[in-house]
Structure 1
Amino acid sequence: MPDPARFLVVLDADSTLIRNEVIELLADEAGRGPEVAAATEAAMRGDIDFAASLRSRVAALAGVPVTAFARAVARIEPTPGVRALIDAVHDRGGRVGVVSGGFHEVLDTVAPDLGIDMWRANRLAVADDALTGEVDGPIVDAAAKADTLLRWASEHGVPRSLTFAIGDGANDLRMMEVAGLGLAFNAKPAVRANADLVMGRVDLADVVALLPR
């Protein structure tokens, strides 16, 4: 049973925890970066269904060698203020989780380095040391993000009123709705319009002032 926590902060990964969109980094390896970037933008605005969009974008990765994961990790830039936020959460007895429509293959390296307590993301199917162009297992979509936040809160004994959800895209809205406080960060217009609070700067350290003392 996980240790109890005073409160819980759950972040999206791409364009929230980190400044990059990992699927675009991987698509660069297949020479399809601009095409995938345009599809990602449409999905984050909420113009198209996230799961269908993800499947089509992952299909563009077919044949990319698994060695591309290390190159993607090397290009990742943590969002300004992320370490200050994580340190403050831990200093005040909270836990930090990341739930992402991105990929475990990259988050499994990035999350421990940043001090994240738990994380969940999609997995990419691999055959013969290359991506097959398919997602392995159920897709982490908007509903899965919301369910994950609630499950982590229950596991750590955190009341829903003391949960914080931070995200930028339309697939973060369900998670933000079920949280005690939903924060739009570096966010698309639909997210800014529906969040409890909109963060003005792209600096996660600004969230520290909102945390329980």
Structure 2
Amino acid sequence: MSAQEFAPGLVIQRFTPPLKLTDFKLIAFDMDSTLINIECVDEIADAAGRKAEVAAITEAAMRGEIADYKESLRRRVTLLKGVPVSAMQQVLDQRLQLNPGAEELVRACKAVGMKVLLVSGGFTFFTDRVRDCLGIDFTRSNVLEVQDGELTGRMVDQPWGDICDGEEKRKMFLATCAQLGIKPSQGIAMGDGANDLPMMGEAGLSVAYHAKPKVREQAMVAINTGGLDRLLEVVR
């Protein structure tokens, strides 16, 4: 079916609502600008006086204008060299907030037995806190290297690889489905940037949240106004 505005600020494409939440067993979220209100790397860069420079790279990457996400992230992390861990703690304490409807949507999903996955091109310093706050079951994100209480400008390789980019998000989504013994079509994937498209393309339901144009165009549902819990208007 062609795109239609199901309700103000809620665009439906390629399927007829409503679906049942019980049709799904997993929901996967991006973190920065999806589950939370900020791009953490940009806010860390603010402490180094480099927010404008880093934010410009982030915006281009999220719009899909930079083909190599890993290289774009390495460039941004290099610019964080020398930022104290205390500055990251300030971002966590003073700037990071869950986006509207995050708690409500996660609660509704868990109430019907769904598992929750957080996959982020961001950093464990923040994903671990969001995981604990929302009771998220699985996470994958990047580790910033720290020496003497300061960022080195590098990331730490992990057993699964070096950087959680779009392809790694896709792999983690599929691996989590396999671990749960479900089909990818029984999963929902929500994101806002181009690096979310690979996992969104595997999911039974893909949802763009206040997303970049390229992501809105390819998602089955686009939430353009209001909170994350607006998905519950479509999937009940």
> Which residue pairs with 1:182 in the alignment?
206
In 1, distance between residues paired with 2:78 and 2:90?
A: 20
1:98 paired to 2:122: no
In 1, distance between residues paired with 2:231 and 2:25?
A: 14
Listed one character per residue, the Cα deviations across residues 154-204 of structure 1 (whole Å, up to 9, x for unaligned) are: 112222111000000000010100111111111101111111221232411
> Which residue pairs with 1:77 in the alignment?
97
Listed one character per residue, the Cα deviations across residues 2-51 of structure 1 (whole Å, up to 9, x for unaligned) are: xxx96100000000000100001110111111111111100000111211
Contact residue 24 and residue 187 of structure 2 kept, 8 A: no
Listed one character per residue, the Cα deviations across residues 101-122 of structure 1 (whole Å, up to 9, x for unaligned) are: 0000111112211222221101
In 1, distance between residues paired with 2:25 and 2:98?
A: 23
Q: Which runs of 5 or more residues in structure 2 are unaligned?
A: 1-22
Shift of 1:210: 4.0
1:87 paired to 2:107: yes
Contact residue 79 and residue 202 of structure 1 kept, 8 A: no
Contact residue 73 and residue 110 of structure 1 kept, 8 A: no
Contact residue 167 and residue 184 of structure 1 kept, 8 A: yes
In 2, distance between residues paired with 1:144 and 1:208?
A: 28
Superposed structure 1 runs of 4+ greater than 4 Å apart: none
1:132 paired to 2:152: yes
Given the two structures, how large is their TM-score scaled by the length of structure 1? 0.93
**Taking every aligned residue pair, what percent have the same amino acid on both sides?**
44
Larger radius of gyration: 2
In 1, distance between residues paired with 2:146 and 2:220?
A: 40
Shift of 1:70: 1.3
> Which residue pairs with 1:107 in the alignment?
127
> Which residue pairs with 2:44 in the alignment?
26
Contact residue 142 and residue 174 of structure 1 kept, 8 A: yes
Given the two structures, how large is their TM-score scaled by the length of structure 2? 0.84
